[in-house]
Chain A
């Protein structure tokens, strides 16, 4: 598992899924958390200054536990929305875990 910073105007691979966040400390913590939560997948980060894409191929998990760990404080996943203007893929949300995926 590796975190790749993609060249910012390179086309996206359609198989990628995951959140799009406004840049800032929460986005940085999400990158860390996503790499912990998806140990078998590479993480692709596209930084467009104002927003950042945090994606993995086919399926992307984000748990409340790893996000809290990287933020160093209490955090509820429902508050992720405050900094998440978009996401790529389908979504499934539970209080402890968000998941983005394509079924095919």
Chain B
């Protein structure tokens, strides 16, 4: 009788060694495994929810690859890139610059699982994970390389993480920390569980659906194909969570709560504006907030509950931030556009504004008034007044501008002093993250710290732009050349003449 995979699977995946001349502790130091305080035999309970054999893996991945390649070759031949809306293209450039090298960091993280994970089954799965992430890096580079002839901004798929561009510094700070600077247990709970099972769906499935509607079949297909790997290897998070919950639930809760907030801030910067401002209005599926409720609240959090985790203590503030943070970031991205390597869409024409007010009833009150100021300056010919002259103060944890986590009514300073240095935070939540492990965050210097420290010369905006690696050919500007503001000029003239 022919054996099915179920018959041999369990024997095939937990090859382990009995050490004869090395200490187990020397071969698997807890600094790397993260298994301190967890009895060795506890890991026997580690069972992957999503099984995969090498034979199936190769067959399935091969089919995924040929699918992505067929689509991208056909679209390149059809010249479909030229038809895409400029604001949408900007979202794909932002993605390639900020995410491609994170895929590569994930290769390193998965490799660490292969060597140091405290369960042989987990080490085995790490191999598939590292092959997956290699694929994601290569796909993203291939996609960007093919578009280089249209726009040098796609060069940032490779270049970004070798620069000091501030959004890259913020993203790098998070991903370095949860992928490269974390032991296996922490990396797994912060990256596999929180990021891959939760937040990456927002970019790779939800935003992919917006991209598809905007006509970018190539990018959309690449994103969702990548996420089919993520859905599988993200599952490494659950058996790890189960083991840690049984022995040190406080630690699991703390790791997840810190990672959840930090991830939500980065996605608010990346995916939030892409959904609520860059995607052409008639192509938008749902708002960033609605997608977050679908993917993070209804889907991700519900499973965590099943394992006994509680919602983060800052849940109400997280929900409040869902109504505001991406709008604050959007205003900041647009205003600081020369500091970006992508063009930025304002996304506040009359019609877009009506959509924003429908999705976010507080939008006009919190953000519309600030845009009105921008609009007045544009229409009066004062573009210079819509551009920055200085750098914003940054958060010691998220590296994002102060005042961008909540609404503009909640700008009370949050800070603490440690070893004579003042650390500022974008929220009480970020401060709480810092306090969990001050020694972890205290040494980080924000872009502004480096500016004040004299690392950026000359000490002005052009000096800062050069230091960030921003050259005139990539430096961001308004995707629409400010044309969107004109309708406000004619309308205000009309009201004046009536009066």
Contact = CB atoms under 8 A, between A and B. Distances in A.
B224 A49 contact: no
Contact of B205 (A51, A78, A89, A95): A51
Contacts of A79: 59-60, 63
Contact of B49 (A20, A84, A90): A90
Interface string B339-378: 0000000000000000000000000000000000000000
A78 B52 contact: yes
B64 interface: yes
B204 A49 contact: no
Interface in A1-23: 8-9, 11-14, 20, 22
Contacts of A22: 224
B212 A49 contact: yes
A81 B303 contact: no
B286 interface: yes
Interface residues of B, number: 43
Nearest to B48: A93
Interface string A22-57: 100000000000000000000000001111000000
A24 B225 CA distance: 14
A85 B231 CA distance: 6
Chain B: interface secondary structure?
A: helix
A4 B334 CA distance: 42
Nearest to B229: A81
B4 A95 contact: yes
Interface string B61-89: 00110010000000000000000000000
B49 A85 contact: no
Interface centre among A22, A82, A88, A95 (most CB of B within 10 A): A22
Interface string B218-249: 00100011011011100100100000000000
A51 B60 contact: no
B209 A88 contact: no
A11 B293 contact: yes
A83 interface: yes
Contacts of B225: 85
Given A14-B302, A78-B56, A79-B60, A51 B290 contact: no
A13 B302 CA distance: 10
B294 interface: yes
Contacts of A95: 4-6
Interface of A: 8-9, 11-14, 20, 22, 48-51, 76, 78-79, 81-96, 102-104
6 contacts: A9-B286, A12-B294, A14-B298, A78-B52, A82-B67, A91-B49
